[in-house]
Chain A
């Protein structure tokens, strides 16, 4: 809309460039107002695809596989991994385990014999995920009555009654252990938070927030880790420069031997198992 007033002379060439450069020549776009085409190009062009029928746009995203289903590097028994995965799917048919990442806000309800209603609900931010197969865990953190609380939950424990994702998002780091040494406002979450719905098939948003740290002492010298989501403005520049010598050197980062990926035949096999599990789930739902 802003383009109409600013530079009308350049408009046609802009539209032309958009149409030529990417395969955006779908029916819905061309029939609409010319300016709307220019606006859509501001979004992620590549992921913006229309269905053949001309229905609403959707974004293509890769199939999500929960990380504990993928076996890590090392000499492992393939048979035992397979049997463990089978048990995982068996449990997932009873308990809905949603897609979540480190950084997303969650609520977990656990059976507790000492609690009032024999169950306990805890809301917090997911700070780390770990474990393989049935031993998978995740840690939730919250500040309650000015006291930080970290609880490690077992994903496949039968005591877990419900897992909800209140806000689905990612952070800049894969491990948020440093929130223990950050200011408490970054890990305080309202326990009565209203869940925010994530539209299906849309990319997961990354929260670019940079947390302020408490003054030292810390659990660890965090400036020596290469962290993206921390603002180290309390430290002097000299100290930050000095800490850089513990960062991973370039020659190690580029080392191909350090990069390991699952062999494709194993990965595709697991993908097939996940597909089968999802189809069985949808079949059971349609039965009801």
Chain B
């Protein structure tokens, strides 16, 4: 491969500097100049002897967590849930795949399994400091511990003050001031309970440049009967003389997929509190193992849920069972379903 050769040359130039400076330079250079996958297998034998390589890796992983955590100062006071007003934090989950599930009446559901992987609150921005929307505060949440050598230095430094390992992905959630959570505290799947409704946001699968039939579902033209060179094209694109132009937003060929999309109003049927997995009915946009944002649903049907949610989040002092089921969901250790016989027939 050509790319590692370039990198080794860079190392030779800056060999007198410390290790961290080199890694910083490497990550910066590699992320912009050379293809992305090459910075995994760079060769820093010139500077670090092979015995030290493991040590450097381990140290870089632990380094951030050695600082003082804000959790040491004592917990922030927990405030009470105000129905219809307060807005809770969400979770950043990883999509594992889909599994079948059955209700107690025997109806089959296709459920998506979302794993809440090592979620921690990284930062809280109060509503006064939130310049974008001063009505709400912001909670910045990170998911999945990552290798800091593969992340830029500026990015990995922001976890130092919270005393957290470097996270792979960051997002922010709009919250009210009473739903704030102390930075550094972990978030679990028990944040959502069976019976609640959630909205999920994921990045759709990239389809590339697509024609009008696949992208918008237009009908196309006939395959035969004298059709020439128009089989998968769109028909008319608008009126004639009166507008004299194409209206903005006309559906046309172009890039399809690879954009964020929301799937709204999905019911939580089951929560695995041991492995931190949410089972949500229906499909969620996005590829397998992609990140998915999960928040309380904005739909009115979520307001019908009478039991108050864990507010501001689930804390470990609350004792829960290993698996939480919805009342209507069939538990696999129950007996098979039998329909009661009608009295009129017998």
Question: Which A residues have a C-beta under 8 Å from some C-beta of B?
Answer: 75-77, 79-80, 83-84, 87, 90-91, 93-95, 111-113, 117-119, 133-135, 154, 156-161
Q: Taking chain B's interface residues, is the majority helix, strand, or loop, or is none over half, making it mixed?
A: loop
* A–B pairs, 20, beta carbons within 8 Å: A76-B97, A79-B96, A80-B113, A87-B332, A90-B333, A94-B333, A94-B334, A94-B336, A113-B339, A118-B340, A119-B338, A135-B99, A154-B100, A156-B100, A157-B102, A158-B334, A158-B336, A159-B102, A159-B106, A159-B337
B115 at the interface (CB under 8 A from A): yes
Report B277 CB to chain A, min CB distance, Å.
7
Report A145 CB to chain B, min CB distance, Å.
24
In whole angstroms, how far apart are the Cα atoms of A83 and B334 in the complex? Answer: 17
19 more CB-based (< 8 A) A-B contacts, given A79-B115, A87-B332, A135-B99: A75-B289, A76-B97, A77-B289, A79-B96, A79-B275, A83-B275, A84-B99, A90-B333, A93-B333, A94-B333, A95-B336, A111-B339, A119-B338, A134-B100, A134-B101, A157-B108, A158-B106, A158-B336, A161-B338
- List the 7 closest A-B pairs by CB distance, nearest first: A90-B332, A77-B96, A118-B339, A91-B332, A80-B96, A159-B106, A113-B339
Report B194 CB to chain A, min CB distance, Å.
16
In whole angstroms, how far apart are the Cα atoms of A1 and B61 in the complex? Answer: 79
B54 at the interface (CB under 8 A from A): no
B-side interface residues, number (CB < 8 Å) = 26
Taking a contact as CB atoms under 8 Å apart, the answer to whether B97 and A80 are in contact is yes
Q: In the complex, what residues of B have CB within 8 A of residue A90's CB? A: 332-333
Q: In the complex, what residues of A have CB within 8 A of residue B341's CB? A: 117-118
Taking a contact as CB atoms under 8 Å apart, the answer to whether A161 and B336 are in contact is yes
In whole angstroms, how far apart are the Cα atoms of A79 and B277 in the complex? Answer: 10
Report B269 CB to chain A, min CB distance, Å.
13
Residue among A90, A113, A157, A158 with max Cβ neighbours from chain B (10 Å): A158
Taking a contact as CB atoms under 8 Å apart, the answer to whether B100 and A111 are in contact is no
Those of B92-118 within 8 Å (CB) of chain A:
96-97, 99-102, 106, 108, 113, 115
In whole angstroms, how far apart are the Cα atoms of A118 and B337 in the complex? Answer: 11
Q: In the complex, what residues of B have CB within 8 A of residue A94's CB? A: 332-336
